[in-house]
Structure 1
Amino acid sequence: MKFGITSGNPRLRLSQHERDGFDRVVRLIEGNPEARKLENICIAALRDAGEKSARGREYFPLRTLGTILDIVDRWAAAPAR
């Protein structure tokens, strides 16, 4: 599974990932000015849970999807910072 959080337009990156075999988008939230911070929070949570990246910075086993979605959904539901 490849996850990514961006503050920009994700369309180009999604098409690149699709060519690499990652062709299903599970959650897409656009316009996050703190994307890098949220991405780092997800990676830290996975590391704390003992998960290791399968390839590169944002590639993890599919079993980690629930953790990532929990973090991202709570972030999206929180009042503006």
Structure 2
Amino acid sequence: MFYVVVDDVRGRIKFGITSGDPRPRLRDHARDGFEIVVRLLTGLPETVAPDLERKLIRMLTLAGVEPVRGREYFDRCPAETLILDIVDHYPTSTAVERPAR
């Protein structure tokens, strides 16, 4: 599974991957302030989630957008538009859940 979460208070966005039930991972991130799930891709073929994660990191680096923590935490501006555009247009062979904000 692939997810994108937002910390509205600090103006941060984070993406990542997990296997199985995403709820425990999303709860961990919510405790860290990332309470808004903006994308959740489930039922992905084997390598899609890690491939998408690598592509996002590569494209953000090419765009000069540096992480604020680790490899997957960014300031929402300017990263959010690029992240969501890539996620929404990435070939996944599954539906993309866009939770209400």
TM-score, length of structure 1 as denominator length: 0.85
Task: For 1:51 and 1:19, locate their aligned partners in 2 and report how far apart those are by CA, in whole Å.
Answer: 25
Asked if residue 10 in structure 1 is aligned to residue 25 in structure 2, the reply is no
Matching residue within 73, 81, 89 for 1:59 = 73
> What RMSD, in angstroms, separates the aligned Cα atoms of the two structures?
1.6
The list of structure 1 runs, each at least 4 consecutive aligned residues, that deviate by more than 2 angstroms after superposition, is: 5-9
For structure 2, list consecutive stretches of 5 or more residues without a partner in the other structure. Answer: 1-12, 94-101
Amino acid paired to 2:76? L
Pair 59,79 (structure 1): closer, same or farther in 2 beyond 3 Å:
closer
Amino acid paired to 1:58? E
Q: CA deviation at 1:7?
A: 4.6
TM-score, length of structure 2 as denominator length: 0.69
Task: For 1:79 and 1:15, locate their aligned partners in 2 and report how far apart those are by CA, in whole Å.
Answer: 24
State how many pairs are aligned. 78
Structure-2 residue corresponding to 1:36: 50
Pair 37,15 (structure 1): closer, same or farther in 2 beyond 3 Å:
same
| Higher percent of residues as strand | 2
Q: CA deviation at 1:8?
A: 3.5
For structure 1, list consecutive stretches of 5 or more residues without a partner in the other structure. Answer: none
Q: Identity, % of aligned pairs? A: 51
